[in-house]
Structure 1
C-alpha cells in the first residue's frame, strides 16, 4: 500500500519555492508589523512601572508565539542602534494574545535601558522558543516560592498560572519575597488581590535596607513555612541568594528547584592565569581564574554561542576534555573529564581543554 504524501498549501509552497522568508516577512510587515511567515513577534501595547526599578511591558503576540509553561524563559531579540542583542526574560501569560514582559532596569544594561527609556508603544520585539525546568509540578502539593529582586518575575508567572487553573484551591502556596526598599517591591497590589481571591495563598515581603530592616534569608525563616517536608520549594534571585536557599531547603523540602537570575561574586581568592586549549579551533589561550570562561574568551575576540549567560538555556554548553573548573553560582568545583560544561557560569581553575 502506498502512503499518500500530504500536499502543501499553495501559499506555503510559494513562500518556500519562490521567495525567501526574509523577503516574505518584509512585505507582510508592510501590511501589519505582527505578520510573519515564521517569526515569533510581539508588539508593545502598554508600558508601566511595576516598581521603582522594574518596567512592565504588555505585548500583543502573533500566531507563531509559543507560550511555553509558566516559569519558563524566552529569548528576546532587540536591535539597539543597529546592533542585535539577545537577552532572556520570564514572561507572564495574560490571555491567548498577550504576555507581560518585566524588565529590571540596569544602569549599564543596553537592552534594559533601551526598553525603559526608548522603546515606544507599537515597537516590535522578536522572541525565541521557551526553555527552563522551573515549572509547576504535576501533583497537587504545597508550594513555597522564594524570590529576591528580579527573581520575582517567574514567580508571578507561576502564581498567575495557579490562579487561572484553580490549583490554588487545592494546594497551599506561600511566597517569600526579598527586596531592598519598599519602593522596590513589584506586583504587591497583585499579590494582595490573589490573597483576597485564594485563601490558600499567602505572601510576605522582606525589606532588607529600610530603616527597620528585615533580615536576609536565613534559617529563622524556616519557621514561616507551614509544611516544608511535603512542599516543593522554588528559589530565584541573585546567585548568592539562590545558594543560600539551596543550603536551607534542598535537604529538608520534598523537592527544590532553583534558578539564579544574576551572578553574584562567589567568595574566592583565585588569582593568576591558566591556559585553555580549544580543540575545534586548535587554539591555546591564557585566561584569568575567577572569571567566567565565556567572558574570558570574548575578551580575546573568541565568540562562542551563548544565550542567557545565567546557566539556564544551555546554548553555551560544550564538552570539557580535561581540567578543573569552578561554578560561579555556587562555588562547586569539578575535575572530572568528559563532563558537560556551561562556560557562562564556570571559571577555569587549572589548565583546561574544551571541545570548542
Structure 2
C-alpha cells in the first residue's frame, strides 16, 4: 500500500505577520529596539567623523534584513527632514564589524546632505534600501585596473581599493582622484597607507585649483604617464560632465570602461518650452518644462514622487507612461512607445505625456 501523502506544511499561526500589519509591528517593535522590524532594512548611526573640509563620514549599523553590499554598489538612505521622508543614494564601504561607512559631501541647499553632515545625532535610525549597481570588480581581475574619481565619486572607488587590498592587490591598480584643493580630498591618509603597503597600488592626485600647479582635467589629463593602459579595466565616477569627458577621452583606448555619474550632464541641444503632463492617478494636469528631468520638474511643482539615486540606476522612481514621447537626459535618445515604464530622474518630457502618477 502506498504511503498517504503528507499534508502541506503550514506556516506557524504564531508568526507576527499573521496577526498584525507590518506597519503596526514595526511601529511598536521600534519602541523596544530601533532596528527591530518585520521585513524592512534599517540602519542606526553609531559615529560621525570629518572626512575632509566639506565631507563627513557616517558609520551605520544595519539590522538583519540588510542583505549586504558589494564594493562599488549603492544603497538608498531614507532620511526624515522637517517631517518629510526623503531618500538619497550613497556608495558605502563595508567595515570589518559589519557596519557601513558612507561619506556625505555637504551640498549648498541640499536638505539631506546638510542634515546628515551637520544635524544627525548618534542613535538616529534611517530606512535602508538593498544594494544596487553593477560597477563592481571580480575577486581576481584579469588585467590592471584604472579608477577615475572626481568629488564624491571617490566613495565607491575607496570600497574597490579596499577590496583589492584584501585580495593582496593581485593586479596593478591606479587611482586618479580629481579634487579642487587638497582640503577637499577624502581618505588621503588611508589611501597613502594602502599605497605604502602595496607597490602595485598608486594614487595620483589631480588638484584642479592648486595655486602652485593646477592639474589638467580628465579631458586633457596625460594618461601616458601611467604607462600602457590599453588592457586596463577602467571605472569612472563623478559629476556628469566629468564622466562624459572620461568616456570621450578613453572609449576605444582601453579594454573596458564603466562609468556612473551622480549628476546628469546637460545636453548641448536641450529642448525648450513646456508640455502638458497628465497625472492619471491624482487627476492633475501640469505644464512642465521640456529639457528638465521629470523628477525635478514634478518636485518643482511641489510633488514628491518616490526617488533614490537620481542617476538612473536604482529604479525607485520608475512609473508607467501611458502615452507621449520622452527624452533620455543622459543619451538624448527619444522613446515614443506607449504603455511603457519610464525613469523620472533621467527622462524629460518631449511631448505631452500621460503618467501613471
TM-score, normalised to structure 2, is: 0.87
Q: Is the CA contact (8 Å cut-off) linking 1:290 and 1:347 kept in structure 2?
A: yes
CA distance in 1, matches of 2:167, 2:20: 43
Determine the structure 1 residue equivalent to 2:332: 333
Once the two structures are superposed, the pairs formed by residues 43-62 of structure 1 within 5 Å of their partners are: 43-62=44-63
Determine the structure 1 residue equivalent to 2:178: 178
CA distance in 1, matches of 2:44, 2:304: 30
CA distance in 2, matches of 1:280, 1:31: 38
Q: Is the CA contact (8 Å cut-off) linking 1:52 and 1:183 kept in structure 2?
A: yes
Determine the structure 2 residue equivalent to 1:64: 65
Q: Quote how far apart the aligned CAs of 1:33 are.
A: 2.2
Q: 1:140 to 1:269 in 2, by over 3 A?
A: closer
Which sections of structure 2, spanning at least 5 residues, go unmatched? none
Determine the structure 2 residue equivalent to 1:192: 192
Determine the structure 2 residue equivalent to 1:238: 239
Which secondary structure state, in structure 1, belongs to the residue aligned with residue 222 of structure 2?
A: helix
Deviations 1:54-111 (A, max 9, x none): 1001122222222221111101111122211111111100024211011111120111
Q: Is the CA contact (8 Å cut-off) linking 1:320 and 1:337 kept in structure 2?
A: no
Q: Is the CA contact (8 Å cut-off) linking 1:142 and 1:227 kept in structure 2?
A: no
Which secondary structure state, in structure 2, belongs to the residue aligned with residue 344 of structure 1?
A: helix
Determine the structure 2 residue equivalent to 1:297: 298
- The partner residue of 1:162 within 161, 164, 167 is 164
CA distance in 1, matches of 2:303, 2:252: 40
Q: Quote how far apart the aligned CAs of 1:233 are.
A: 0.7
Q: Quote how far apart the aligned CAs of 1:171 are.
A: 0.9
Q: 1:281 to 1:205 in 2, by over 3 A?
A: same
Which secondary structure state, in structure 2, belongs to the residue aligned with residue 115 of structure 1?
A: helix
Q: Quote how far apart the aligned CAs of 1:341 are.
A: 3.9
Q: 1:304 to 1:59 in 2, by over 3 A?
A: closer
Q: 1:142 to 1:3 in 2, by over 3 A?
A: farther
Deviates more, 1:248-257 or 1:84-93: 248-257
Q: 1:8 to 1:221 in 2, by over 3 A?
A: farther
Which secondary structure state, in structure 2, belongs to the residue aligned with residue 229 of structure 1?
A: coil
Deviations 1:22-67 (A, max 9, x none): 3333343333323333232222221111101110011222222222
Deviations 1:144-180 (A, max 9, x none): 11010001111111111222233x1x21111001011
Q: Quote how far apart the aligned CAs of 1:216 are.
A: 1.0
Q: Is the CA contact (8 Å cut-off) linking 1:62 and 1:97 kept in structure 2?
A: no
Q: 1:3 to 1:160 in 2, by over 3 A?
A: farther
Determine the structure 2 residue equivalent to 1:218: 219
Deviations 1:332-354 (A, max 9, x none): 32235337643312333x42446
CA distance in 2, matches of 1:20, 1:279: 29
The count of corresponding residues between Structure 1 and Structure 2 is: 349
Q: Quote how far apart the aligned CAs of 1:301 are.
A: 5.2
Which sections of structure 1, spanning at least 5 residues, go unmatched? none
Q: Is the CA contact (8 Å cut-off) linking 2:69 and 2:94 kept in structure 1?
A: no
Once the two structures are superposed, the pairs formed by residues 199-214 of structure 1 within 5 Å of their partners are: 199-211=199-211, 212-214=213-215
Q: 1:275 to 1:199 in 2, by over 3 A?
A: same
Which secondary structure state, in structure 2, belongs to the residue aligned with residue 189 of structure 1?
A: helix
CA distance in 2, matches of 1:26, 1:8: 23
CA distance in 2, matches of 1:118, 1:300: 27
CA distance in 1, matches of 2:304, 2:44: 30
Determine the structure 1 residue equivalent to 2:344: 343
Q: 1:22 to 1:204 in 2, by over 3 A?
A: same
Deviates more, 1:260-269 or 1:98-107: 260-269
- The partner residue of 1:152 within 128, 141, 154 is 154
Which secondary structure state, in structure 1, belongs to the residue aligned with residue 262 of structure 2?
A: strand
CA distance in 2, matches of 1:154, 1:262: 15
CA distance in 2, matches of 1:16, 1:301: 35
Q: Quote how far apart the aligned CAs of 1:4 are.
A: 6.1
Q: CA RMSD in A?
A: 2.6
CA distance in 1, matches of 2:261, 2:224: 24
